[in-house]
């Protein structure tokens, strides 16, 4: 089985270039969303605890089964740990044998950012150049880079309640060609922005954006509300917006629309990408991508890694599958015979 570790993903990004990887990931995601009907889909399994959530995200087409293990523990950062970590697996549907296991912490950040920018290409006003980012945790820089790579965003208005997060963001993106305005508040960040990305981490029903902060024509990329009891937008914003989601049964439980009636109208983003529904229809329309992350995006990321890590220095082999010469004689693999000096 091919094992793609953290060092291999870092080497891949450096070799191909961050913007290239983000564009290529967006292409893989779009390709898979266009064949939506080919996938066996389900909402993710989630095990919630007082400190966070551990999830499994399964998906399959006729050729491969994939899943991602991922956690979300906002309090981890106080202990010097990542809020989100993950790994993923691809397996051959015909034999059931897994053929790829890969790190999915960096890759989740990359695919989430690529998905955000891909959706914004259909939902934001043409010519958008300014984006507000509210919440400057681990995902923020990836979002900025993806929106520049796919949409040409080069002006950022940023805000976080933690000065250290702001300093981290500015240091990471120094000399990378962005004009950055450090806002004094959320409303200050949102003022004049074509796109507003909310990507906060706290597991609570927050009001990161209130209705009076949202002008006509704005696109909201709502990334941080991604589990039950965790939201970022005042419901009044959703009431006057066109809302787009990934997989409705999952988003009803976890997204911003968990605040809304069950018959609240939304459009699944695959329909827009496949040309079966409209995205933005007018300059004054307020659009929301209520993104919680869906398994197709992880499948796309794993498929991308499978295609791009063939070089010997971009993976190693992992021996996780027993291979008895006689498939019926698994016990014989242990070889407990006295001839080997081993006794049962």
Q: Which residues are tagged catalytic? A: 226
Closest CA to 9 of 89, 82, 92, 110: 110
Question: Bridge partners of 132?
Answer: 157, 196
Distance CA 312, CA 189 (A): 45
Which residues 6+ apart lie within 8 Å of 334 measured at CB? none
Distance CA 123, CA 7 (A): 35
Decide: residue 263, CB within 10 A, 0-12 exposed, 13-18 middle, 19+ buried. exposed
Distance CA 272, CA 280 (A): 10
Closest CA to 298 of 52, 115, 167, 142: 115
200 in Cβ contact with 229 (< 8 Å)? no
CA-to-CA dists, residue 138 to 112, 165, 274, 284, angstroms: 12, 9, 31, 32
């Amino acid at each position: 089985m091919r094992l793609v570790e953290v060092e291999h993903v870092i080497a891949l990004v450096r070799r191909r270039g961050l913007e290239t990887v983000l564009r290529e990931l967006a292409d893989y995601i779009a390709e898979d969303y266009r064949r939506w009907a080919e996938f066996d889909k389900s909402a993710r399994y989630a095990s919630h605890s007082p400190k966070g959530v551990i999830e499994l995200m399964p998906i399959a087409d006729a050729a491969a089964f994939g899943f991602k293990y991922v956690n979300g523990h906002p309090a981890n950062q106080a202990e010097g740990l990542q809020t989100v970590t993950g790994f993923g697996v691809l397996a051959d549907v015909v034999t059931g044998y897994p053929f790829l296991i890969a790190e999915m912490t960096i890759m989740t950040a990359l695919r989430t950012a690529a998905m955000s920018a891909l959706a914004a290409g259909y939902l934001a006003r043409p010519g958008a150049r300014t984006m507000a980012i509210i919440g400057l945790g681990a995902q923020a820089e990836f979002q900025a880079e993806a929106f520049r790579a796919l949409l040409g965003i080069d002006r950022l208005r940023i805000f976080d309640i933690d000065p250290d997060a702001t300093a981290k963001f500015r240091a990471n993106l120094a000399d990378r060609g962005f004009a950055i305005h450090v806002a004094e508040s959320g409303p200050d960040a949102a003022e004049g922005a074509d796109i507003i990305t909310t990507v906060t981490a706290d597991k609570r029903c927050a009001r990161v954006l209130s209705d009076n902060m949202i002008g006509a024509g704005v696109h909201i990329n709502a990334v941080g509300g991604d589990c039950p009891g965790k939201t970022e937008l005042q419901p009044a914003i959703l009431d006057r917006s066109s809302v787009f989601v990934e997989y409705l049964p999952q988003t009803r439980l976890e997204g911003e629309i968990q605040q809304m009636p069950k018959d609240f109208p939304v459009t699944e983003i695959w329909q827009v990408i496949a040309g079966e529904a409209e995205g933005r229809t007018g300059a004054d329309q307020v659009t929301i991508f209520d993104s919680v992350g869906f398994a197709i995006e992880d499948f796309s990321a794993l498929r991308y890694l499978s295609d791009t890590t063939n070089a010997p220095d971009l993976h190693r082999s992992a021996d996780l599958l027993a291979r008895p010469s006689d498939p019926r004689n698994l016990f014989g693999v242990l070889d407990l015979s006295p001839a080997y000096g081993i006794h049962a």
